[in-house]
């Protein structure tokens, strides 16, 4: 089972040997290889992961063309990476780094700004920034703290994409 991943990784590395590091980082090739490793481990128990393995092999043939020139192959590579990441997140519980930190910060900030707006409507004589500034700061800070705790638990269980 692990032979597939080692062959796949060698093939990708050989095909992309002469490319600039910035291009490989832009097209998230390192993430693509990490996802391939996780898909390989889960392929025996998940039918979708097994199907993704064959899709990755097909995309591997067009990988150089996808990176070198814009077009259909590049769009397919991006779609495959998105589908793989969504599948691993939804079905297997793998998350991108800082996923919960960003998510909690965004939603707490929006909720607290909504509450601040309602509080401003109740007492419009007060300057609006007395409500919005603390709501924004508290939303971001509380989201960072709460999300960091959850992200740390995800990292400790090695569930990072």
Q: Is 160 helix (H, G, I), strand (E, B) or coil?
A: strand
CA distance 61 to 99: 31
Identify any residues that bridge with 95 across adjacent strands, giving them in sequence order: 160
What DSSP designation does 95 have? B
Specify the pLDDT at position 2: 53
Residue 1 in this model has a pLDDT that exceeds 60: no
What DSSP designation does 32 have? H
- The alpha carbons of the chain give a radius of gyration, in whole angstroms, of 21
The full set of domain ranges for the chain reads: 2-92, 99-156
Determine the average pLDDT of the residues in 151-157.
92
Are residues 110 and 75 in contact, defined by beta-carbon separation less than 8 angstroms?
A: no
CA distance 90 to 22: 30
Is residue 49 classed exposed, middle or buried when 0-12, 13-18 and 19+ CB atoms within 10 A define those classes?
buried
| Tens-digit pLDDT profile for residues 3-14 | 888 888 898 888
How is 35-52 classified by DSSP, letter by letter? Answer: HHHHHHHHTTT-HHHHHH
Average pLDDT, the chain: 89
Indicate the pLDDT class of residue 139, thresholds 50, 70 and 90: very high
CA distance 108 to 92: 26
Write down the pTM of the prediction.
0.76
């Amino acid at each position: 089972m692990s032979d597939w991943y080692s062959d796949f990784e060698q093939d990708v590395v050989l095909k992309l040997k002469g490319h600039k590091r910035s291009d490989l980082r832009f097209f998230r090739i390192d993430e693509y290889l990490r996802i391939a490793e996780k898909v390989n481990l889960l392929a025996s128990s998940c039918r979708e992961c097994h199907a993704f393995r064959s899709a990755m092999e097909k995309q591997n043939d067009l990988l150089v063309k996808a990176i070198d020139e814009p077009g259909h192959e590049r769009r397919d590579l991006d779609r495959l990476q998105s589908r793989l990441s969504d599948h691993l997140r939804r079905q297997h519980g793998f998350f991108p780094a800082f996923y919960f930190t960003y998510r909690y910060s965004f939603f707490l900030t929006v909720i607290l700004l909504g509450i601040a707006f309602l509080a401003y409507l109740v007492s419009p004589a007060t300057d609006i920034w007395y409500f919005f500034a603390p709501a924004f700061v508290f939303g971001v800070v509380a989201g960072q703290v709460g999300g960091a705790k959850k992200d740390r638990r995800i990292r400790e269980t090695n569930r990072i994409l």
